[in-house]
Structure 1
Amino acid sequence: MKIAFFSSKIYDKIYFNRYNTYHELKYFENPLNAESVDLTNGYDGVCVFVNDQLNAEVITQLAARNIKIIALRCAGFNNVDLQAAQKQGIAVVRVPAYSPHAVAEHAVALIMTLNRKTHKAYNRVREGNFSLERLTGFDLYGKTVGVVGTGKIGEAFAFIMKGFGCKVLAYDIHPNPVLINAGIQFVELDELFAQSDVISLHCPLTPQTNRLINSESLEKMKPNAMLINTSRGGLIDTKAVINALKNGKLGYLGIDVYEQEADLFFNDFSESIIQDDMLMRLMSFPNVLITAHQGFFTEEALTQIAQVTLQNLSDFENNQLSKTTTLVH
């Protein structure tokens, strides 16, 4: 199949070229949106990532160009209008579990860095400053950690935190039986907010979870709680979080995703003036740590993403998608 590959980076080309033996891939650095949809002329399908915007308008344009499949090289699909794709007869596939440990371990890295301030210590020592002033952390052992969303990533994260000796609470509309059997307690969301010292978000972005963290939910949290988000930026109301940081209600924030990341993440703006005032305000807090959507970025995850995406395309071409779990309905 001829596939137009959008939002491509060097690492995408390395891993997809390594495992591609059949399909014709054309790499575009452009994101796929209404302005770039003309680039899909002459292709059978598109391969897209988290910040490509496939709304009803774009999907209608894809259908007019005889695009037959949208291959997401990620787990989330909130950026695709599934109803429009179904109406146009375009299949949508994804990579549902490329390496849950990669994202779970990155969430732990954010926790450890925020807590023990290793990023600040690193910079100090490089400048010859060996002072320990203002680097005080806390023992994770014995603390209560709340896990919101217990799919494969949330499950992996919960087991890691249990290994630290934490009390783990979990919330999910479909409680994970593996975690239940491991003795992890599922509670209502309000109880999780009220009891947790650390809260980590591992749920998809849906109409129900959009801005799950808002002024009301922040008020329900413990004073000085730590909030971690490695899932989707839209789970957090950024203005509300900024206010909670300013008034001291929220103690720490670690995010690998941001609700307005589409115009920023995966690009180098080090020589530019960043126009996003909310992001710049977040970056000004000493108790905030931001990474640029790198939770998935491991050898194992990149390998799985390439292999599963390419297999999805082959399965579609061979009329075998109905047998797979990667087809998004």
Structure 2
Amino acid sequence: MKIAIFSSCKYDHDFLKQYNTGHELTFFESTLTLKNVTLTKGFDALCLFVNDQANSEVLYALKENGVRLILLRCAGYNNVNIEVAAKTGIKVLRVPAYSPEAVAEHAMAMILTLNRKTHKAYNRIREGNFSLDGLMGFNLHNCKVALIGTGNIGKAFYRLLKGFGCRVAAYDPYPDLNLISEGLIYDNLEEVLRDAEVVSLHCPLSEENHHMINTNTLKLFKKGAMLINTSRGGLIDTQDVITSLKSGHLGYLGLDVYEQESKLFFHDLSGDIIQDDLISRLISFPNVLITSHQGFFTREAMQQIAEVTFANADAFESGISLVNEVDK
């Protein structure tokens, strides 16, 4: 098939070319939007990432352009209108799991960095400052961690937390019986968040959980708590989080995702004036750590993404069962 790959970077080129199973690949650096949907003419399939837009208008345009398949090289699909895709007959396939340990380990790295302030210590030592002032952290052992979402990534993260001796409380509409057998305790969202010292989000974005972290839920956190989001930016209300940081109720924030990230992440804007006032404000806080949707970015994850993406394409082309299809 002829496949157009949007939001592509050099590393996408390298891995997708290496694991290509015989398809004709065309790479576009740009994010797919209604403005550039004309680029899709003549392609059988599109390969999209987290910030590409496949809303109803785009999907109807794709149908007119002859596109039959959307290959998501990610697990989340909140950027695709699945109902409209079904109406147009465009199949949507995803990569449901790609080294969940990669994202879980990145979440833990953010916790450890914010807590023990290793990024600040690194810069201090390079400047000849060996003082410990301002670098005090807290023990993760016996710390209450609120684990929101226990899918593949949440499960991997739970096992890391167990290794640190944390007290873990979990919320998920669909509790995992295997994790319960391992000792994980589930409860409702309010009780899980209540007095939590660390809150880590590991759930897909939906209409039901949009801005689930807001003024009301932040109040449940223990004063000085840490919030980590490596899932989807829309899970938190950024302005409410900024207000909580300013008041001192929220003590630390680690973000690998951001609700308005599509205009920022994966781009070098070092020579530009950042127009997004909210992220500029976040960057100004000394207790905030932001990475640019980096959690998935390991060799193992990139290999799995490429392999499963082409397995999905081959299954569609061969007319066999589409095990990774997203349907309404």
Superposition TM-score, scaled by structure 2 size: 0.99
Using the TM superposition, name which of 216-225 and 114-123 deviates more.
216-225
Using the TM superposition, name which of 227-236 and 123-132 deviates more.
123-132
Answer yes or no: is 1:259 the counterpart of 2:267. Answer: no
Counterpart residue number, 2:294: 294
Tell me the CA shift for residue 230 of structure 1: 0.2
Counterpart residue number, 1:24: 24
Give 1:178's aligned amino acid: N
Give 2:147's aligned amino acid: V
Q: CA RMSD in A?
A: 0.7
Counterpart residue number, 1:45: 45
Counterpart residue number, 1:69: 69
Tell me the CA shift for residue 221 of structure 1: 1.4
Cα displacement string for residues 134-189 of structure 1 (whole angstroms, at most 9, x for unaligned residues): 00001111111110000010011011001101111111000011210100111111
Give the Cα separation in 2 of the matches to 1:321 and 1:57.
28
In 2, are the aligned partners of 1:312 and 1:321 still within 8 Å (CA)? no
Local SS of the residue matching 1:17: helix
Local SS of the residue matching 2:98: coil
Give 2:73's aligned amino acid: R
Tell me the CA shift for residue 205 of structure 1: 0.2
Local SS of the residue matching 2:92: strand
Give 2:262's aligned amino acid: A
Give 2:326's aligned amino acid: V
Tell me the CA shift for residue 45 of structure 1: 0.7
Answer yes or no: is 1:88 the counterpart of 2:73. Answer: no
Counterpart residue number, 1:166: 166
Give the Cα separation in 1 of the matches to 2:158 and 2:178.
11
Counterpart residue number, 2:204: 204
Local SS of the residue matching 1:207: coil
In 1, are the aligned partners of 2:146 and 2:169 still within 8 Å (CA)? yes
Counterpart residue number, 2:326: 328
In 2, are the aligned partners of 1:4 and 1:25 still within 8 Å (CA)? yes
Superposition TM-score, scaled by structure 1 size: 0.98
Cα displacement string for residues 189-233 of structure 1 (whole angstroms, at most 9, x for unaligned residues): 101111311010001000011000011111121111110000000
Give 1:294's aligned amino acid: Q
Counterpart residue number, 1:99: 99
Give the Cα separation in 1 of the matches to 2:27 and 2:317.
20
Q: Which runs of 5+ in 2 are unaligned?
A: none
Give the Cα separation in 2 of the matches to 1:110 and 1:252.
10
Aligned length: 327
Give 2:117's aligned amino acid: K
Give the Cα separation in 2 of the matches to 1:320 and 1:275.
47
Give the Cα separation in 1 of the matches to 2:64 and 2:29.
23
In 2, are the aligned partners of 1:321 and 1:327 still within 8 Å (CA)? no
Counterpart residue number, 2:226: 226
Identity rate, percent:
57
Give 1:273's aligned amino acid: I
Give the Cα separation in 2 of the matches to 1:146 and 1:33.
36
In 1, are the aligned partners of 2:8 and 2:30 still within 8 Å (CA)? yes
What pairs with 1:75-224 in structure 2 (closer than 5 Å)?
75-224=75-224
Local SS of the residue matching 1:47: strand
Give the Cα separation in 2 of the matches to 1:209 and 1:147.
15
Cα displacement string for residues 241-295 of structure 1 (whole angstroms, at most 9, x for unaligned residues): 0000000110110010000000000000011110100001001111110000000
Give the Cα separation in 1 of the matches to 2:202 and 2:62.
31
Local SS of the residue matching 1:26: strand
Counterpart residue number, 2:310: 310
Give 1:201's aligned amino acid: L
In 2, are the aligned partners of 1:34 and 1:57 still within 8 Å (CA)? yes
Tell me the CA shift for residue 22 of structure 1: 0.8
Local SS of the residue matching 2:289: strand
What pairs with 1:1-20 in structure 2 (closer than 5 Å)?
1-20=1-20
Give the Cα separation in 2 of the matches to 1:21 and 1:86.
26
